[in-house]
Amino acid sequence: MDSGFDTPGAGITVQRALELPGLRSGLPEVLAGAERLHRTVRWVHAGEVPNIASLLKGGELLLTTGYGLGTRPAEQRAFVRTLAERGIAALVVELGPRFTRLPAALVDTARTTGLPLVQLHREVPFVAVTEEIHTEIVNGHYTLLQRAEEVHRRCTEALLGGGGVPQVLGILAGFSGNPVFLETPGGQLLYAAGEGPEGADPLQVWEGLRAQHQDDPPAGSALVDVPGGGPGTGSVRARLVLLPVRAPLTPVHRMAAERAAGILAVVLMQARQEEELAARGRGDFLTDLAEGRITAEDAPAQARVLGFKPGRSPLLPVVMRLGDALAPGGGWAVLARAVAEELASVGVPVLLGVRPVEGRVPLLLGLRSESERSAVADRVAVALRAGVERAGMQRPGARPPVVVVGVAGGWAAASAGLRHAAETATAAQGLADRPWYDARRLDIDLLLWRLRDQPDLAAFVERAIGPLRDHDARSRPPLLPTLETYLAHAGRKAETARELHLNRQTLYNRLARIGELLGTDLDDPQTVLALSLALRARRHVS
């Protein structure tokens, strides 16, 4: 693969430092750690104190004449061990007044710990050596920055030329010689670029490594967060992953990835803004249709502009309401995309919009026939909830979103159906959770919700079940759940006892107590109707 970049490993190694004129003039001899001369030298330090390891951070090349090494073998072994533990790159000892040859304890310990140990047979000016190596290191860093900046320049040019995320990832993959992936913070793949070993598809590489390593990519990978949510928020929009499956990754590759992450943040932010505007536009159209601001005659043409072409198919109105399930921070563009991707498997035309102010997602679906309404509703409800979960918009511990399905019909019916479903979705808040609700079966709840601000409704609830609410506030066991279950099973005592896990006599005692507190007969149809309405209405009154 011709990347257009020169990408050898950058930085100065111990081997390179020994080849520079300063140390080369000292006739260096490697006594230990020859196999580790590829170690990177981060800095050079010269010193003669016994506890010099405490002054180092790791990665240094230490120059010394040996006065701090100690005179006893135990001191010399301890000196080398502490340097190895600190992670220095190499120890270079100049022979002279202190040592004419390095002690065996020193050499043996260096070999045991794997620390590169070098002796200089000629005196060298440590200042000149330090300056020479530091210049090489600084020049190496500058070269890294230049090469990373070249990636940034090419990515910017690609964007100005009309490219997007795939082009940016392609440039980065070419530079690193490895496949590159863009994931969600949760680890779901968004984009892939480059090639795996022997030209393998990057998706195969990603799936294989995900299966093998799950949340922890293999050693040597580069992971860079793509920021989101604006400066200073600390939020992460995506994650850039470079995998070393074809060649090792070097520091310059991470630098380039960090610069590319900044560009990707801008691209994703712009794409999300455009995506959210489009989703809001579709939501505005569906709301205008529901409110009668768009006629049934004009709606098909406007829908075609938005990409919805159901033909003469029956239209199924659906509304999802998040309510208290809505997590703070927005994310409506992510939600719209996630839901649309989930709905793609349903196999019918879909027009999906968002209404962030109301916490609502209205949809229209084109059915092949009205007979498939129930089957499509099942699949749509699953897709909607899965999209909410993928978008991270579900508040922890909140009730699941409410999905209401209207009646299938033409454009005129779709207008009334969307309006009815939207109101019903609000009225259904607090009901027992179901995958989806049929709007036709919630008309009583909708009527009670519309009367929620009427004092007469609150008074009715108080007259009907007030004594039970007072009892439950101060006594145990509570009786309202028993009454609700009893009425839900149409007065069938065996089923009620089974659901409440009560024996029959306990249930009979509770029902008798309820009748006593309310002063009424639970077998009277009028009483049952009033109590059922009061229990439904209490969700809507304070």
Closest by Cα among 61, 62, 22 to 42: 61
What is the C-alpha to C-alpha distance for residues 237 and 330, in angstroms, rounded to an integer?
13
- Please give the pLDDT value at position 205: 73
Domain annotation for the chain: domains and CATH numbers: 14-134 (3.40.1390.20), 163-270 (3.30.450.40), 295-446 (3.30.70.270), 455-537 (1.10.10.2840)
According to DSSP, the residues that pair with 86 across neighbouring strands are: none
- Please give the pLDDT value at position 229: 55
Tokens of 457: 């409704």
What is the distance of C-alpha 339 from the center of its chain?
A: 16
Strands, E assignment, 286-359: 315-321, 350-352
- Please give the pLDDT value at position 279: 83
The ranges of the chain with pLDDT < 50 are 1-10, 230-233
- CA-based radius of gyration for the chain: 36
What is the C-alpha to C-alpha distance for residues 454 and 459, in angstroms, rounded to an integer?
9
Dihedral angle over CA of 250, 254, 255, 256, nearest 10: 100
- Please give the pLDDT value at position 87: 92
Q: What are phi and psi of 336, to 5 degrees?
A: -60, -45
Residue with tokens 């709840």: 445
What is the C-alpha to C-alpha distance for residues 143 and 149, in angstroms, rounded to an integer?
10
What is the C-alpha to C-alpha distance for residues 61 and 41, in angstroms, rounded to an integer?
6
Closest by Cα among 378, 347, 365 to 408: 365
What is the C-alpha to C-alpha distance for residues 136 and 166, in angstroms, rounded to an integer?
36
- Please give the pLDDT value at position 210: 61
Closest by Cα among 352, 360, 441 to 405: 441
